[in-house]
Amino acid sequence: MFENISPVWLIVFGMLLCLVLVFIFRKINTLLTQLFKPFKKGQTYWCKVIAVSDGDTLTCYRLNFRRSQTKIRFAYIDAPESSQSYGRESQKIVQKMVYQKIVRIQITDTDRYGRHVGVIYRIYKNVNKELVKHGAAWVYEDYIKDKKHREHWLQLQNKAKKQKKGLWKSSHPVRPSVYRKQGK
């Protein structure tokens, strides 16, 4: 079959074939490293939620071959502790929205406890924002660097306050950060 082809063309064909194989190998290598790498800041992942610890922490496993399981802390919000007033209700809202469901998580950071921090999306809804809208969490202003972004989140919180939703039904709700300090 190759007897009629000149040696120069055989060498060119061989070199092209090698380039194509290198390209394919690199693509496969990139795909496999994406599937097996841990969560990285700035990346987005698909996960299945397997547990809800409280109103701002959940456990999920990535939809990859390794099924890596991790705790995720909701970015930009602080929900009441489970033992705090409205804590159980906040947890139930999160369970209703995401428990045993597939979610998309955009990792924003890793906290001091080693948990990944991210924005959780269920279909097209930003679950973090939904919790603030329902009055199930405070805006964690210290962690929102962009001024416009912070103002938008605070507007959502103020709207929930005015409508006396969720934890805002109480006349003097206590921020979880203050509650945690009181417990020490």
Catalytic residue among 115, 122, 150, 175: 115
User: What's the CA gap between 28 and 58, in Å, rounded?
Assistant: 32
Indicate the pTM of the whole model: 0.76
- The verdict on whether 115 is a catalytic residue reads yes
- The verdict on whether 81 is a catalytic residue reads yes
> Which H or E run contains 57?
strand 57-62
User: What's the CA gap between 20 and 16, in Å, rounded?
Assistant: 6
Residue 28 located in a structural domain = no
The pLDDT assigned to 33 comes to 66
β-bridge partners, 46 = 104
Residue 102 located in a structural domain = yes
Structural domain including 138 reads 44-183
Residue 118 located in a structural domain = yes
Residue 105 located in a structural domain = yes
- The residue ranges of the chain whose pLDDT is under 50 are none
Residue 3 located in a structural domain = no
- In this structure, what CATH number is given to the domain that contains residue 154? 2.40.50.90
Q: What would the pLDDT profile of 4-49 be if each residue is shown by its tens digit?
A: 888 888 889 889 999 999 999 998 887 776 666 667 788 898 999 9
> Which H or E run contains 147?
helix 147-162
115 burial level (CB within 10 Å; 0-12, 13-18, 19+) = middle
Q: How many domains are there within the chain?
A: 1
- The verdict on whether 73 is a catalytic residue reads yes
Residue 11 located in a structural domain = no
